[in-house]
A and B are shown apart, each in its own frame.
Chain A
Amino acid sequence: GGSTTSTEATAEDPLVLRFAHNLNDRHVTSQALTAFAEDVEERSDGRITVRMYGNGQLGSETTVLGQLNQGIVDMTRVSAPGLANYDPGYHAFGLPYVFASEEEYYQVMDSPEMAEFFRSTVDQGFVGLTYYTSGARSFYTADTPVRTPEDLRGLKVRVQDMRSQTELMAELGAAPIVMALGDTYTSLQTGLIDGAESNETVLTQSAHGEVAKSFSLTEHTRIPDMLVISSDAWQRLSPQDQELLVDAARRSTEDHKVAWAQSIEEAVTEAEAMGVEFVTDVDLEAFREATRPVVERYVAEHPEVAELLSVIEAAGE
């Protein structure tokens, strides 16, 4: 990191923000990040430039967060629960059925209360500028529809490398398997795993629709991506420039919502053409009940989670 402040920066000698993330160039969210970077440069008349390190050049999410914490990179995109090591409140975003619907999800995430929470972690070394949706995650299997938690019992399900996710699976009686997304296709094909969970785009972009023909809309988690800046870089910005960054970030979030909805729609159409059946008559209430203990455990362990859940509840009304 440097030591210049944004008030000293000029177009000739700009303040450079180093932004690392691990999404590939074609990812919808990666495009939103690029749009954000361009917007910042344009609106600051080149006083602030964002240097992008995409495609995981500087490492995985956790690795880059460590670098952000040290001041080696200034900004990153991270799945919200990844921030829980720094602020346990972020565990809440990995928990099941925190949001009742997509509508409520957007209402809460766009609320002033949430913006305040994003801004509250300066002492923990970072500030959240905005979030990006990554849709609702649901279960998909080779051919078994998942309508009730009973249907999952005994199945081997690939989950993300996150403790809340393995606990969620265990609570549903499934065997959680942590593996790289890249290995999931062959594992589904060979029966090494019975299913996995993600949003609809995985069926087409990772071609899982070729080997998994049943996608059940359990919508058990809505895990946002976070756009964060290190406190160090944040404090080098003048209040006007802080506002400029937040504005650009918010704008990219709004555009991203549209692009995301479109990518989901395309994925569903394409997946249906591949022969994937979307199971919609899921007993959501049963899933909510079955996974309740996970939420309770996190609430008991981390007061910060309880706090954030009440913020979410208040904003959702």
Chain B
Amino acid sequence: MEALLAVAVLFGVFFVLLFAGVPISVSLGIASFLTALVFLSFEESTYVVGQQMNVGIESFSLLAVPLFIFAGNIMNNGGIARRLVDLALVLAGRVPGALAHTNVLGNMLFGSLSGSAVAAAAAIGGTLHKRQKEEGYDPAFSTAVNIASASTGLLIPPTTAAIVYSTVAGGVSISALFMAGYVPGILMGVVVMVVAWLYARRRMAGATSPRVGLGEGLRVFLRAVPSLLLVIVVVGGIVAGVFTATEGAAAAVLYCLVLSLIYRSLSWADLKQVVTSTVVATGVVMFLISASSAMSWVMAYTGIPTAITDALLSTADSKAIILLLMVAILLVVGTFMDITPAILIFTPIFLPIATELGMHPVHFGMMLILAMCIGTMTPPVGSVLFVATGVSGVTIEQVVPRLLPYFAGLVVLLLAVTFIPALSLQLPEWLGLLG
């Protein structure tokens, strides 16, 4: 009874405020406060929501989030992205639709450095857009490819999505999550490339880039080496236990800063802009985490996760059906919600069910993040969709039909990741990270 009332108040208030346009963090906070108020006095509710909003962000490992955002913002300031695009161009040069594949590879390479899908869509897609247009690529096609592959970096480490998930899931190993992301992240890129190849083979058979000589290829590769080295320093360092994710993130800030100085791509004005956008992103993300920990507390106090788990396990009797149900809900959520709030809100609800079904928390995390990656490309709310169409000047109406095959391919991948644990768990298992 208590849990039922709590569910009604918490989600009722939350969704009303959400759709009324109240900031998501404040919608969460107010919904939590009002739910607490049903069971506790005004003073008690005020105290406990205030308390959770503070202690929820008192965490050394969470510092990795603003620091990776910081590093990513330095990286976005040019130099690094261009070198990665050049490298991707050499790698994908002879395949039909070469520039589209270049875009996918570029997004994956960029994603292996940065954890921002939006930044990838803008930096890589933005760099390639003009060239694709010149070579006669259909802008709606190239934009769709950019959108579908931009969020590979949310799975390929380093990724703040994994850090946020680790925190809200109660300290799931960040190293294990990082390693688990490689296979689904790379497969995501592969799926997009296969779909693009099928399209390009029929409609744009001649669209390959000129052959690049070995010497030129080597030169391009060497120019990208300093950027790629960051992966080894940061991800390698974290997984090998040389330093924590937070220390790795600070190292990434330093590394990107030094690299930008060498490339002379960062002026004082740029740096000020970088700090400003990092402060904004930090405020947005951390306040969301802060408010969501109030929500988690209220849910635990009123017994919501247990009630939902019990209800779901008693109505649906097969594991497969429950998993499909979760996938469906997450895809719907992904249409209108951004990845961080979705992780923060749905982990406390779905993780207990997943573990009850025998799913490893690392595996569940990959399923959740991939579902949300797909969500970044769908209307009505899709951060990547908005940025990528903005960069290329294509309307959302034009790009959506072109996105459908990629969406279908990625949903198939999501089902594969959901039902084949090894896709997520094998790599961390081999490295002895699953404990």
B44 touches A71 (CB 8 A): yes
Chain A CB within 8 A of B263 CB:
no
Which residues of B in the span 14-40 have a Cβ within 8 Å of any Cβ on A?
A: 40
Q: Once the chains bind, are B300 and A189 in contact (CB under 8 Å)? A: no
- Is B297's CB under 8 angstroms from A59's CB? yes
Q: How large is the interface on B (under 10, 10 to 19, 20 to 34, 35 or more residues)?
A: 10 to 19
| Minimal beta-carbon separation of A89 from chain B (angstroms) | 25
Contact between chains at A182 and B55 (CB < 8 Å): no
The answer to whether B51 touches A63 (Cβ under 8 A) is yes
In the complex, the answer to whether A72 meets B300 with C-beta atoms within 8 Å is: no
* Interface residues contributed by chain A, number (CB under 8 Å): 18
Contacts of B52 in A (CB 8 A): 59
State the majority secondary structure of interface residues on B: helix
Known: A63-B51, A186-B241. A58 touches B44 (CB 8 A): no
**What's the minimum C-beta distance from A212 to chain B, rounded to whole angstroms?**
16
Please name all residues of chain B whose beta carbon is closer than 8 Å to the beta carbon of A66 when the two chains form the complex: 47, 51
- A residues less than 8 Å from B40 (CB atoms): 1, 72
0/1 interface trace, chain A 68-95, chain B, CB 8 Å (1 if under): 0011100000000000000000000000
Contact of A72 with B241 in the complex, beta carbons under 8 Å: no
B300 engages A57 (CB within 8 Å):
yes
Would you give the shortest CB distance from B325 to chain A, in whole angstroms? 25
B41 neighbours in A (Cβ, 8 Å): 71
- Is A60 within 8 A of B48, CB to CB? no
A53 within 8 A of B: yes
Please state if B297 and A58 are interface contacts (CB–CB under 8 Å): yes
Interface string of A174-199 (1 = CB under 8 A from B): 00000000110010011000000000
Option from A1, A71, A189 in Cβ contact (under 8 Å) with B241 = A189
- Is A34's beta carbon under 8 Å from chain B? no
Q: When the two chains form their complex, are residues B171 and A182 in contact, meaning their CB atoms are under 8 A apart?
A: yes
B171 adjacent to A72 (CB under 8 Å) = no
Contact with A along B291-316 (1 / 0, CB 8 A): 00000010011000000000000000
- A57 vs B297: C-alpha distance when bound (angstroms): 7
Least distance between A68 CB and chain B CB atoms (Å): 11
B43 within 8 A of A: yes
**Would A70 and B55 count as touching, CB distance under 8 A?**
no
> Do the beta carbons of A70 and B48 come within 8 Å of each other?
yes
Q: Mark A36-79, 1 if CB is under 8 A from B, else 0.
A: 00000000000000000100111110010011001110000000
Q: Once the chains bind, are B55 and A72 in contact (CB under 8 Å)?
A: no
Chain B residues with Cβ below 8 Å from A53 are 300-301
Name the contact of A70 in the complex, choosing from B44, B170, B297, B300 (C-beta under 8 A).
B44
Would you give the shortest CB distance from B431 to chain A, in whole angstroms? Answer: 13
Tell me if A59 and B44 are in contact (CB < 8 A). no
Contact between B55 and A59, CB atoms less than 8 A apart: yes
Counting chain B CB atoms within 10 Å of each CB, the highest count among A60, A63, A182 belongs to A63
* Neighbour of A63 across the interface among B43, B55, B170, B242, CB < 8 A: B55
Q: Are B55 and A58 in touch, CB under 8 angstroms? A: no
With a cutoff of 8 Å between Cβ atoms, the chain A residues found around residue B43 in the complex are 70
Which residue of chain A lies nearest to B47 when distances are taken between CB atoms in the complex? Answer: A70
Q: What is the CB-to-nearest-CB distance from A184 to chain B, in angstroms, rounded to a whole number?
A: 13
How many angstroms from the CA of A46 to the CA of B294 in the assembled complex? Answer: 32
Residues of B within 8 A of A56 (CB): 170
Interface string of B239-264 (1 = CB under 8 A from A): 00110100000000000000000000
Closest chain-A Cβ to B239's Cβ sits at a distance in Å of 12
With A and B bound together, what is the CA distance between A189 and B52 in angstroms? 34
A287: shortest Cβ distance to chain B, in Å?
Answer: 31
In the bound assembly, the distance between CA atoms of A287 and B168 in angstroms comes to 42
Instruction: Quote the shortest CB–CB distance from B373 to chain A (angstroms).
Output: 29
> Which residues of the other chain, B, contact A183 by a CB distance below 8 angstroms?
244
Shortest distance between the CB of B305 and any CB in chain A (Å)? 9
**Would B51 and A58 count as touching, CB distance under 8 A?**
no
| Segment 98-142 of B: residues with Cβ below 8 Å from A | none
**Please, how many angstroms separate the alpha-carbon atoms of A72 and B40 in the complex?**
7
Distance between A117 CB and nearest chain B CB, rounded to angstroms: 28
**In the bound complex, CA of A189 to CA of B241 (Å):** 10
A50 to B: closest C-beta gap in Å: 14
Q: How far is B243's CA from A183's CA once the two chains are assembled, in angstroms?
A: 11
**Residues 159-176 of chain B: 1 if any A CB is under 8 Å from the residue's CB, otherwise 0?**
000000000001100000
CA distance A72 to B242 in the complex (A): 42
CB A44 to nearest CB in B, in angstroms, measures 21
Give CA–CA (A66, B297) in the complex, Å: 14
Residues of B within 8 A of A (CB): 40-41, 43-44, 47-48, 51-52, 55, 170-171, 241-242, 244, 297, 300-301
Q: A1-B44, A53-B301, A70-B43 are in contact. List 13 more A-B contacts (CB 8 A).
A: A53-B300, A56-B170, A57-B300, A58-B297, A58-B300, A67-B48, A67-B51, A70-B47, A70-B48, A72-B47, A72-B301, A182-B171, A186-B241
Listed A/B pairs (15) with beta-carbon separation below 8 Å: A1-B44, A56-B170, A58-B297, A59-B51, A59-B52, A63-B55, A66-B47, A66-B51, A67-B51, A70-B44, A71-B41, A71-B44, A72-B44, A72-B48, A72-B301
